[in-house]
Amino acid sequence: MAYLFTSESVSEGHPDKIADQISDALIDNFLAFDPQSKVACETLVTTGQVVLAGEVKSNIYLDVQQIARDVINRIGYTKGEYQFDGNSCGILSAIHEQSDDINRGVDRATKEEQGAGDQGMMFGYASRETENYMPLALDLSHQLLIELAALRRENWEMDYLRPDSKSQVTIEYGDDNKPVRIDSIVLSTQHDEFDEDEKVMLDRINKDVREILIPRVKAKLRPETKALFNDQIKYHINPTGKFVIGGPHGDTGLTGRKIIVDTYGGKGAHGGGAFSGKDPSKVDRSAAYATRHIAKNLVAAGVCNEVLVQVSYAIGVVEPMGIFIDTYGTSKVDMSDGEIAEKVGKIFDMRPASIEDRLNLRQPMYSETAAYGHMGRNNEKVTKTFRTPGGEEKTMEVELFTWERLDYVDEVRSAFGL
């Protein structure tokens, strides 16, 4: 029987995502000058205010207030009428040193003995539904907002756009669990005040979304995905009407409140731990990346068409509590899911230090993850420059989204006899 499935995304200007991006910018700056930094940093943003709180163990001093201001300005909050802008907002730092009671379970005599930074379970997911092995509804939701942000920065065709926005895509699936069509698209975007009345304003935004944004998104999609767009799509564009008040002035933002947007849009499962603001000794982050890496390589290798991978840890303990695999009945090998999990545990070393080394996680690579999803992104190398308050400057090449590499496909095929 046909069914509907929905995923949402939020833009870089959404209050929760501002908080995530500030927290991850702090992580990057600490790691750039001290790769062994231990950081757990939370951010709160509201009208004209930013609060930074958390624990840090590092040998570098940073101007955390200026880092936060730079992030806010880069996102686009640069005008006083937004009631929140990077140059004038107040910033309170309540960051202090990491607890010795936590640190003793992580730091060991040798790096290989490094314990997990917390207890919990983490999940990774992959499927053949899209080219990047991600759920389609989430992928499209992200693409809508990435393109909307590009239009905002171009400041030409839709010159009234402000940074805050949300999207949601509902897809109809057939009996074979394959996408049939897009059923509905929801898009809410913050905008400038209009001189015209509200109806004229809404009509223009509606028209521009349908005739400018949607064609630009479609132009970047594969033919089979373009074919899912149809004349019967239900559009809900700024469904509440006027959306001038937005960002931190319209809604308080906190680090870690968009964990489903960050991962798989509700497909698969989530262990509950946020990613942003945590250095890779925190398995909430590193093991979630490692399980995505496993899931993607399993599907790409042909072991199955869809898979969920779970790993779990105890704080301070080196070896994981266990690995779980669910192939949703799509396995292509003559093994139970339990047998697949046992073999996966032999291929991929899931000790925290091994994950850090395998995925090169002690790079300043996290700012790019903090908006538009941590998974399904492009694995690429970029050059980044960091500065200390004392004038020290460091330029380095950074490899982004290392967990998206398909570097274990051959090893997985060999292990499974494919």
CA angle 105/284/111 to nearest 5° reads 40
Query: According to the annotation, is 243 in a ligand binding site?
Result: yes
**Separation of alpha carbons 7 and 415, rounded Å:** 35
Considering only the C-alpha atoms of the chain, give the largest distance between any 2 of them, rounded to a whole number of Å: 68
Query: According to the annotation, is 258 in a ligand binding site?
Result: yes
Region of 30 (left: φ > 0; alpha: ψ -120 to 50; beta: rest) is: alpha
Query: According to the annotation, is 242 in a ligand binding site?
Result: yes
Query: According to the annotation, is 55 in a ligand binding site?
Result: yes
Query: According to the annotation, is 274 in a ligand binding site?
Result: yes
**Separation of alpha carbons 126 and 106, rounded Å:** 30
Q: Between the CA of residue 133 and those of 24, 326, 336, 400, what are the distances in Å? A: 25, 16, 22, 17
Query: According to the annotation, is 34 in a ligand binding site?
Result: no
Query: According to the annotation, is 65 in a ligand binding site?
Result: no
**Separation of alpha carbons 51 and 322, rounded Å:** 37
Q: Is beta strand 38-46 parallel, antiparallel or unpaired with respect to 253-254?
A: antiparallel
Query: According to the annotation, is 12 in a ligand binding site?
Result: no
**Separation of alpha carbons 8 and 139, rounded Å:** 9
Alpha helices in 34-171 (DSSP H): 64-75, 100-103, 136-154
162 Cβ neighbours under 8 A, 6+ residues apart: 13, 76, 82, 152, 189, 190, 191, 192, 244, 246, 247
Query: According to the annotation, is 226 in a ligand binding site?
Result: no
Query: According to the annotation, is 404 in a ligand binding site?
Result: no
Query: According to the annotation, is 166 in a ligand binding site?
Result: yes
Query: According to the annotation, is 296 in a ligand binding site?
Result: no
Query: According to the annotation, is 21 in a ligand binding site?
Result: no
Binding-site positions for Mg(2+) read 16
Which residues make up each annotated binding site for ATP?
Answer: 14, 164-166, 242-243, 251, 257-258, 274, 278
Q: Which residues are annotated as a binding site?
A: 14, 16, 42, 55, 98, 164-166, 242-243, 251, 257-258, 274, 278, 282
As annotated, the binding site for K(+) includes: 42
* Bind-site residues for L-methionine: 55, 98, 251, 282
